[in-house]
Structure 1
Amino acid sequence: MFATSEALGRVVRVEPTGGDVAVTLAPVELTDVVRDGHFTIDQTLDLESQAFSQLPDLLGEVVDGAEATPVLPDARKATGMGTNAIGAGDFRFAVPPIPLRPARGPGPEAAKSAQRKIGDWDVTAYKDSAKLGLTAEHSTAAQAGPGGLKVDFDIQLRVRNLRVHGDIRVTNGIIPNPSFRIDGVEGLAVTIAAGAQGGLSDNKKAKIEFPIEVKQPIIIGGFPATLKQTFKFLVETAFTAKNGNLSATGQWGLAGPIGYAGSSVLTPTFSVQKSIMQSLRGVSIGVEAIVLAVEFRFGLMIGLPVAGAGPFVGIVASVGLTNGSAAGRVGLPLAGPAVKCRGSTLVATVRAGEGINMSEPLAKAIKEVLKVDIPKEADFLKKDIVNRTVVEPDVPLCRG
């Protein structure tokens, strides 16, 4: 069923409501609607005129409830941020009815940022013609009880003349060799600052899917579609001593498209513009560490506003920082040689594929309430842009 120019879905329930009829739609894949067809797109992504749109209140902070340990987090493991979303152990079916109306084109006065409170986090997504970014602040210092964790970060994609290209051919209900790419992503920049008053007891591992997206409604081949960008992030801390802190800033260049053509992944050329290792600072009697992983995803979605299907490509950037004990610097007797170890790991990965794009809690809710199975996204195509670890000083004690 086509519902104005905003949605397309499979009818699973029809109920009279007063003088109206309430129709419940379930997500569909492109091949559920089109057996044979050819869709192409070559269009500018004007971030300044695109609109922020709120997603249902199923998304939020998912906290790992495991007991805090001094094990240092691994940035290389943080790039696997899930298929449909971050994942959650339980869910609430809290999706309100979505009023549908003819899609409006992006306007010149679209908001430049959107802010939400998610658990203990204040999260802001922002955009303009030169960047697409996410800023988050976390603080439990003002809450009752001893200790308190504070984390601030800002991470952004640097862009110029952002553009999307896609070529999707459907033959007898099969999409044999699709291609989808984004041009104009020129770099990545990150700033991180964190501290823990209580040390080990303050550590936290949280995964968050930001419940706001940036979108631009379009019509492609007569079908309602949406160009959208979404955000999610993971933070894991490992403070081993009270009143520990660390901070760092890094900037890297990316030259070339991101995306895929058939089974080949397109990755940009990587360069270092500002070394995050050179800016790493912090003071603590123990070893302190933090991992931040963020995914910026671009997609062409056909279907429902909260559950579209189509090709997507994303950059997952994972940054890990380790700052050694200040005791090592001064050579205290229990610390061994007078060496303070520092380390950084950067893993940037292009991930791509196609399928129904929706959060895992929402998929579970639809299956529970409507008794409709939601097909998972196709297996990811992925390829690292960079996977690099730097340790200073480069001595056996620090290399571990």
Structure 2
Amino acid sequence: MRRWIAAGLVAVMVGVSGCSAGQTGGSDPAPGKTSGYTLAGTELTESEFRYGLAPRPHMDVTYQPDVVLVEGGADAVRSVTADGLTWTIDAKAKGASELTPGKVMFVTSRGVGRVVAAQRAGDAIAVTIAPVEFTEVIRDGTFAGEQPVELDNVISYSSEGALWTDEAAVAAAAPATAAPAAAPVSAGAAVRPAAFTEGALGKAPAPGAGDKERVEMPRPATGAPKNTRSNGFTVVPKCCRGGVGADLTYDDSEIRIFGSFMVLMDKPRARFHLAVSGGRVTVAELQVLGGSGLKIDIEGASKVGTARQIDRQFTVPVDFSVPVGLVLGVPFSFTVTQTVLVKTAFSAKDGNVKAAGEYAINGAVGFGYRDGSWGLHKVQGPFIRSSLIDSIRGPSVGANGIILAFKTQFSIGFGAAGFSVGLNVALTVSTGVARGSALDQFFPAAPGTRDIGCRGASLTIDMSYNVGYTIPAIVEKVINFFLRVFRAKPIQRTGGIPNPPKTEKLFGATQYDPPSCAS
């Protein structure tokens, strides 16, 4: 398993000419061909729709000295892998020859990162990048949206096929990151490939005929896709006028799970302000407005009881993105990403449990930062519309329950496939529902014996925020596994300020029915 992951990476690097024509999901977009997507009255070209807007020099913005702006922007891009890490670009594009390990590539709003490897084949270069902090790209500049950015007319970018969406690849990568690093790595140094050597690719295993290769990112779509798959789950992402969320389905003939979650929103929109001076963030503000509620639906069943459970964390492999346009020549986007955690605890064969709830919230969520001091925008609520605990159903045989957590992150910045760097604020809503005698599997243990008819439900809402980037743990594991092929130092899960991102608990409550179950 590990061999085919590494070999698939090498295949991308040494077989550039084989994929540079961009045949997966359609031929290379012709220069100037329009996409049907309109931004501020101007229709994006097909290349801009696929790969993002190009940065432009501006007198009021200073880039860091190791940043390379690739001329031609989206028209210089031949293809990009589903994980967003390897970009194949035209070798003749101005700036392409400067893309050596250690430099920061900035080719489009989605193609931004520190170069860990670059391999030329014919008239194309395959460039593999790692995440960067905002201040590793911008040295000086003040950026603000004059009008609220509406989360409407979204572009859906799929990362289905990225290694972290594959169960086997995730399992293979996990042991590689379990052992501690030989020496601690700071967040700033972690994204710099100081350990890269030109011979790294030559020493990697050659791909075999049966190896699984990384796939090209498909053409994006307008609106939400019908469905996608990640780590054994069928996922139907939802966005954006009425809110953001997803439906999840899992069925392996022994365990069946259905989960649905929505952050209900009324005309979702965002305001932002970001100032950088001398490579330091001096002012940062982000407000996401329009939140109106939470809607949760959970259902699970097992035919095998304690013999096997589900315990998985995964990303929804779709980024919802709205181009903001050029702000002082820098292409910003408003992007939404989602991460899911699912855990089951069935103690009885043929056990099942189901519950649903809806809660009202209102107000903005976000943060403000100025010269070292932070302030928060917190939603009000939740206020019960329909309670989870009142809806819990399932036979009272043993103890059965499910934990479901959704993290919805709103970002304004640049980057792709969950590596967006900029202003980030996330809501994590965690729910647990259980029916049976052993509710302490889900809720804090209390003295006494709980009756078989007990029902329990918990709801927790956390807000996290930073200026920089945040990568889900499962994505970090897989990326660091294959970055070893290039002898690059491991990336950190987070970068920027504060590091790690600050987390604020907005709400937490546990209910029991009957109340005596809590004692």
TM range (shorter): 0.7 to 0.9
Aligned length: 356
- Is the 8 Å Cα contact of residues 224 and 303 (structure 1) preserved in structure 2? no
Q: Out of 291-300 and 349-358, give the one that drifted further.
A: 349-358
After superposition, where does 1:314-325 map in structure 2 within 5 Å?
Answer: 314-324=426-436
Report Cα offsets for 1:277-309 as digits up to 9, x if no partner: 111111032011110001111112324566332
Counterpart of 1:360, as a letter, is E
> Who is 1:144 aligned against?
none
Is 2:133 the counterpart of 1:29?
A: yes
**SS of match in other structure, 2:281:** coil
Is 2:459 the counterpart of 1:350?
A: no
Change (3 A) 1:172 1:139: same
Counterpart of 1:380, as a letter, is P
> Who is 1:332 aligned against?
none
Q: Out of 3-12 and 271-280, give the one that drifted further.
A: 3-12
> Who is 1:311 aligned against?
423
Alignment partners' CA distance in 2, 1:277 and 1:306: 34
RMSD of aligned residue pairs (Cα, Å): 3.2
Shift of 1:237: 0.7
Q: Out of 36-45 and 132-141, give the one that drifted further.
A: 36-45
Structure with the larger RCO, 1 or 2 (CA within 8 Å, 6+ apart): 1
Shift of 1:119: 3.7
Alignment partners' CA distance in 2, 1:21 and 1:205: 40
Which runs of no fewer than 5 residues in structure 1 stay unpaired? 66-86, 101-105, 142-147, 327-335
Change (3 A) 1:256 1:306: closer
> Who is 2:153 aligned against?
49
Alignment partners' CA distance in 1, 2:238 and 2:450: 46
Which runs of no fewer than 5 residues in structure 2 stay unpaired? 1-67, 74-107, 178-210, 439-448
Q: Pick from 238, 241, 264: which aligns with 2:375?
A: 264
**SS of match in other structure, 1:186:** strand
- Is the 8 Å Cα contact of residues 48 and 128 (structure 1) preserved in structure 2? yes
TM-score (structure 2 length as normaliser)? 0.62
Alignment partners' CA distance in 2, 1:122 and 1:383: 31
Counterpart of 1:285, as a letter, is V
> Who is 1:130 aligned against?
242
After superposition, where does 1:31-180 map in structure 2 within 5 Å?
Answer: 31-41=135-145, 43-55=147-159, 57-60=162-165, 88-90=174-176, 110-141=222-253, 148-180=254-286
> Who is 2:350 aligned against?
243
Shift of 1:116: 1.6
- Is the 8 Å Cα contact of residues 187 and 251 (structure 1) preserved in structure 2? yes
Is 2:391 the counterpart of 1:279?
A: yes
Shift of 1:14: 4.7
After superposition, where does 1:280-299 map in structure 2 within 5 Å?
Answer: 280-299=392-411
Is 2:121 the counterpart of 1:17?
A: yes
**SS of match in other structure, 2:390:** helix
- Is the 8 Å Cα contact of residues 131 and 157 (structure 1) preserved in structure 2? yes
Alignment partners' CA distance in 2, 1:206 and 1:264: 34
Change (3 A) 1:50 1:153: same
Alignment partners' CA distance in 2, 1:112 and 1:99: 14
Counterpart of 2:378, as a letter, is T
Report Cα offsets for 1:95-125 as digits up to 9, x if no partner: 556799xxxxx9xx82333422234311110
Change (3 A) 1:325 1:307: closer
Alignment partners' CA distance in 2, 1:98 and 1:2: 22
Is 2:487 the counterpart of 1:381?
A: no
Change (3 A) 1:324 1:132: same
- Is the 8 Å Cα contact of residues 53 and 212 (structure 1) preserved in structure 2? yes
Change (3 A) 1:89 1:13: closer
Give % identity.
23
Report Cα offsets for 1:47-67 as digits up to 9, x if no partner: 45101101261222669x9xx
Alignment partners' CA distance in 1, 2:452 and 2:490: 56
- Is the 8 Å Cα contact of residues 337 and 418 (structure 2) preserved in structure 1? no
- Is the 8 Å Cα contact of residues 133 and 157 (structure 1) preserved in structure 2? yes
> Who is 1:76 aligned against?
none
Counterpart of 1:260, as a letter, is F
Alignment partners' CA distance in 1, 2:377 and 2:490: 32
- Is the 8 Å Cα contact of residues 357 and 387 (structure 2) preserved in structure 1? yes
Is 2:511 the counterpart of 1:390?
A: yes
Between Structure 1 and Structure 2, which shows a larger proportion of strand residues? 1
**SS of match in other structure, 2:307:** helix
Alignment partners' CA distance in 2, 1:93 and 1:312: 34
Alignment partners' CA distance in 1, 2:451 and 2:335: 52
Alignment partners' CA distance in 2, 1:337 and 1:239: 17
